């Protein structure tokens, strides 16, 4: 009894585990159970049970209710899908003027709205794209096809790559100085010389539309949430789910509403990029000290002046992190949205991966990563830039960037003009290096891959087989062996012990939603892969982080490495692992581990750094050794922060597991991928996405609650 009183939590955990295992052993695996147990709406099988709810027939394989709950939410995806179709095709038909056919047409409202948004987005993308690459669409938008076909000059010429490269370098110089200028110039030259110009500019034009729009919407919504509690309350649950929702899953419903193509990609990107922007705006505005706001008011600011000149600039730091996140999400989505037909580097990357042409994929991946790093650096520099408006500048000094750009424009045009005589075979290399005419390193890489395969095939294969048969398969089997009831008890119990009734209720509801969906087994597989990745990442991350933290230089180096790695679009991680391990689960898991190790390492370092130096000194003066200090003082104090890192690690791992479906996994991601090619997949994709989000949210809730309690206990605010 003494012991129970001393360690009450420990005994609660023990009790929970005992109950969990008892349930696991008490409930047998039904003989008819097979892993594949999706919603089988296309297959009619006499063994299936059915029920009808809200007019939707749901067929499923029934088991003992303790083993697997029946998919009582099976109607939900069908229902959502039908709802979407109804909205789009039947709801509120109205008369609209169609300018193309010059007559009124009856169209459902939502369809018309989606058409208008589509047209607007397409126009924006085409406009920027044609500035960079040339074309006629923009002029068509203002006039007509007839006009364009009758006047051959009526098209945007597109900028020669030399001008864009010079422009990027000048912009880099203006924002931050020589370093960024050189980097910007080199990136552009690289892209051009290696024949990636066209897809790169397509991707860039997509991002130049998506990022500012996401920023503007996110900022305004964030301000609205800051101003009104009601807006915040309405937004909060959506933001929470969107934070853990895999980007893949949004593709499907958006595709239903907006079709395929670049415009749909922009809309999806906005959907994914806006939530973090809102959160960070809100965080920043909340962080502005009340006295600064009062100072603004006492200076006689109107509401508008207060917002634009006091609040937003003061909250700049967080808002900028938001901008950064927006850009990162845009690049990530630039690749993923290739699935719904967005053009550019992502499309090439996807195509190359599909053909298992690792070299080509690597080239595209490198390009997109380089552009991502460039834009990331530029946005940061822009944010940190100070206007210096005192200095008596001469006319030249004041406008030197404009003058230089004008010069570059002139030289570029002249070069392109000369080039049109100089290059005989029809390609003007001073204007645009065509895709297949640049220097390609693909062969080199492919040979490298072949060499790796030839040389290490046996070793890799042995490792691969061992990992799959000895570790992954048993682990997966264990996860699937859990009866649904036992899992639910475990989740609810953990919630209760960590956060009391409230937490137990929240995580219980989230888990129940997944259990009642038709994809419980798949969710278990997703969880198993994520768990494996998270455990490995945490071990690697905390060890690497701790080691690096011992020295100031290694700390800085490691954080910089994390920064760069984080800038890579998530999809890019699949390339090197496919190089090494081919199309197997191991590839996915290694990508997961690499990707999820980033936050694990970063938060370990930051956590250890956050330990107050006074405590270091106090510990040293008490005569502890370095190891003692690490384990007795630094780890316990840094632990809450490191746990937040675990939270991020889990989200990262889940994202990568879902993306890994592209390589071929058997989890929720695979179904999301299937839903993409399914005409009635909108509802499915959404519900699947919500399932993944809920897995993330269960862990998120548990960890956050624990961290908050622990922080209170330790007296860290």
Partner 1 sequence: MSDAVIKCDSVYKIFGTNAKKMLQESNGNVDAKTFQKNGCIVGVNNASFEVSKGEMLVVMGLSGSGKSTLLRCISRLTDATDGKIYIEGQDLLSLNNKELIELRRNKMGMVFQSFALLPHKTVLENIAFPLQIKGIETEESINKAMDMVKLVGLDGRENYFPRELSGGQQQRVGIARSLAVEPDIWFLDEPFSALDPLIRKEMQDEFLRLQEKLKKTIMFITHDFDEALKLADRIAIMKDGIIEQLDTPAKIVLNPATEYVEKFTAEVPREKVLIIEDVMDKPTTNNLSDIKVSKDEIIENVAEKILSQQKSVAVIDENNKIIGTVNPSRIIHTVFGGRKK
Give the whole-angstrom CA distance, residue 273 versus residue 209: 13
Considering only residues 347-406, where is the footprint of partner 1 by CB under 8 A? Answer: 386, 389-390
- Residue 303 CB, nearest approach to partner 1 (Å): 8
Residue from 289, 392, 394, 397 touching partner 1 (CB under 8 A): that is 289
Range in contact with partner 1 (rule: CB under 8 A) among 80-88, 284-292, 589-597, 695-703: 284-292
Residue from 36, 52, 298, 621 touching partner 1 (CB under 8 A): that is 298
161 CB-side CA count, 13 A: 26
Give the whole-angstrom CA distance, residue 23 versus residue 27: 6
Range in contact with partner 1 (rule: CB under 8 A) among 9-17, 181-189, 285-293, 693-701: 285-293
Question: Which helix (DSSP H) or strand (DSSP E) does residue 51 occupy?
Answer: strand 49-53
Q: Is 464 in the site for partner 1 (CB under 8 A)?
A: no
Nearer to partner 1 (CB atom), residue 292 or residue 583: 292
Q: Is 294 in the site for partner 1 (CB under 8 A)?
A: yes
Query: Binding mask 56-95 vs partner 1 (x if CB under 8 A, - otherwise)?
Result: ----------------------------------------
Q: How many CB atoms lie within 10 A of CB 84?
A: 18
Q: How many CB atoms lie within 10 A of CB 704?
A: 17
CA angle 656, 658, 660 (to 5 degrees): 65
* Of residues 270, 440, 449, the one with CA closest to residue 367: 440
Range in contact with partner 1 (rule: CB under 8 A) among 307-315, 356-364, 370-378, 492-500: 307-315
Q: Is 295 in the site for partner 1 (CB under 8 A)?
A: yes
Q: What dihedral angle (degrees, nearest 10) is formed by the CA atoms of 595, 598, 599, 604?
A: 140
CA angle 433, 176, 395 (to 5 degrees): 95
Nearer to partner 1 (CB atom), residue 299 or residue 354: 299
Q: What dihedral angle (degrees, nearest 10) is formed by the CA atoms of 102, 106, 110, 113?
A: 10
Range in contact with partner 1 (rule: CB under 8 A) among 112-120, 295-303, 573-581, 620-628: 295-303
Q: How many CB atoms lie within 10 A of CB 469?
A: 10
Residue 533 CA to its chain's centroid (Å): 17
Residues touching partner 1: how many (CB under 8 A)? 21
Residue from 12, 220, 243, 305 touching partner 1 (CB under 8 A): that is 305
Q: Is 544 in the site for partner 1 (CB under 8 A)?
A: no
Residue 453 exposed, middle or buried by CB count within 10 Å (0-12, 13-18, 19+): middle
Question: In a 3-state reduction of DSSP, which class is residue 208?
Answer: helix
Q: Is 291 in the site for partner 1 (CB under 8 A)?
A: yes
Range in contact with partner 1 (rule: CB under 8 A) among 102-110, 250-258, 298-306, 702-710: 298-306
Range in contact with partner 1 (rule: CB under 8 A) among 210-218, 291-299, 546-554, 613-621: 291-299
Range in contact with partner 1 (rule: CB under 8 A) among 3-11, 186-194, 302-310, 397-405: 302-310
Nearer to partner 1 (CB atom), residue 292 or residue 439: 292
Give the whole-angstrom CA distance, residue 443 versus residue 358: 9
Residue from 109, 240, 241, 301 touching partner 1 (CB under 8 A): that is 301
**Is residue 699 within 8 Å of residue 534, measured between CB atoms?**
no
Residue from 89, 299, 402, 420 touching partner 1 (CB under 8 A): that is 299
- In the complex, which residues of this chain contact partner 1 (CB under 8 A)? 289, 291-292, 294-302, 305, 309-310, 313-314, 316, 386, 389-390
């Amino acid at each position: 009894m003494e012991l129970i009183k001393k360690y009450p939590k420990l005994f609660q955990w023990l009790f929970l585990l005992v109950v969990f295992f008892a349930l696991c052993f008490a409930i047998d695996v039904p003989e008819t159970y097979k892993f594949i147990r999706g919603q089988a709406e296309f297959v009619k099988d006499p063994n299936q049970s059915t029920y009808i709810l809200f007019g939707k027939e749901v067929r499923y394989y029934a088991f003992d209710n303790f083993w697997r709950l029946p998919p009582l939410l099976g109607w939900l995806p069908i229902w959502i899908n039908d709802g979407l179709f109804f909205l789009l095709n039947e709801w509120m038909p109205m008369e609209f003027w169609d300018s193309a056919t010059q007559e009124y047409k009856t169209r459902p409202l939502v369809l018309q709205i989606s058409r208008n948004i589509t047209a607007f987005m397409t126009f924006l993308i085409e406009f920027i794209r044609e500035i960079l690459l040339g074309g006629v669409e923009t002029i068509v938008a203002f006039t007509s096809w007839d006009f364009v076909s009758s006047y051959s000059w009526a098209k945007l010429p597109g900028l020669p790559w030399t001008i864009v490269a010079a422009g990027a370098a000048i912009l880099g110089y203006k924002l931050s100085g020589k370093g960024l200028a050189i980097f910007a110039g080199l990136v552009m030259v690289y892209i051009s010389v290696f024949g990636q110009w066209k897809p790169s500019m397509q991707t860039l034009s997509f991002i130049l539309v998506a990022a500012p729009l996401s920023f503007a919407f996110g900022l305004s919504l964030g301000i609205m949430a800051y101003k009104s509690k009601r807006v915040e309350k309405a937004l909060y649950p959506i933001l929470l789910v969107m934070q853990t929702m895999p980007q893949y899953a949004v593709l499907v419903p958006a595709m239903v509403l907006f079709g395929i193509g670049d415009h749909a990609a922009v809309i999806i990107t906005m959907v994914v990029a806006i939530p973090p922007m809102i959160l960070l705006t809100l965080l920043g505005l909340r962080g502005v000290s009340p006295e600064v706001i009062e100072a603004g008011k006492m200076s006689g600011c109107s509401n508008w002046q207060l917002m634009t000149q006091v609040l937003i600039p003061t909250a700049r730091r967080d808002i900028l992190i938001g901008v950064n996140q927006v850009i990162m999400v845009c690049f990530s989505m630039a690749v993923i949205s290739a699935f719904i037909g967005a053009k550019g580097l992502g499309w090439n990357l996807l195509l190359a991966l599909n053909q298992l042409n690792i070299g080509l994929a690597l080239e595209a991946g490198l390009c997109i990563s380089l552009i991502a790093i460039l834009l990331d650096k530029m946005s940061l520099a822009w944010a940190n830039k100070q206007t210096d408006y005192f200095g008596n500048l001469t006319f030249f000094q004041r406008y030197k960037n404009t003058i230089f750009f004008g010069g570059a424009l002139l030289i570029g045009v002249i070069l392109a003009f000369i080039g049109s005589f100089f290059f005989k075979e029809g390609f003007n290399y001073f204007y645009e290096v065509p895709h297949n005419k640049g220097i390609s390193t693909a062969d080199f890489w492919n040979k490298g891959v072949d060499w790796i395969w030839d040389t290490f095939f046996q070793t890799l294969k042995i490792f691969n087989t061992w990992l799959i048969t000895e570790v992954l398969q048993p682990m997966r089997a264990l996860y699937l062996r859990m009866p649904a009831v036992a899992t639910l008890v475990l989740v609810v119990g953990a919630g209760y012990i960590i956060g009391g009734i409230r937490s137990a209720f929240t995580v219980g509801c989230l888990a129940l939603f997944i259990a009642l969906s038709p994809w419980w087994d798949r969710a278990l597989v997703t969880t198993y892969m994520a768990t494996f990745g998270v455990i490995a990442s945490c071990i690697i991350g905390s060890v690497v982080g701790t080691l690096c933290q011992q020295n100031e230089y290694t700390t800085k180096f490691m954080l910089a490495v994390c920064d760069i790695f984080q800038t890579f679009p998530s999809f890019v991680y699949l390339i090197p692992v496919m190089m090494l391990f081919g199309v197997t689960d191991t590839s996915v898991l290694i990508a997961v581990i690499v990707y999820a190790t980033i936050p694990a390492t970063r938060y370990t370092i930051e956590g250890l750094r956050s330990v107050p130096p006074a405590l270091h000194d106090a510990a040293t003066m008490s005569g502890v050794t370095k190891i003692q200090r690490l384990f007795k003082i630094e780890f316990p104090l840094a632990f809450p922060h490191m746990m937040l890192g675990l939270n991020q690690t889990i989200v990262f791992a889940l994202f990568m597991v879902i993306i890994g479906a592209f390589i071929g996994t058997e989890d929720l991601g695979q179904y999301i991928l299937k839903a993409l090619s399914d005409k009635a997949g909108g509802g499915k994709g959404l519900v699947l996405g919500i399932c993944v989000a809920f897995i993330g949210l269960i862990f998120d809730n548990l960890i956050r609650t624990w961290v908050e309690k622990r922080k209170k206990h330790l007296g860290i605010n």
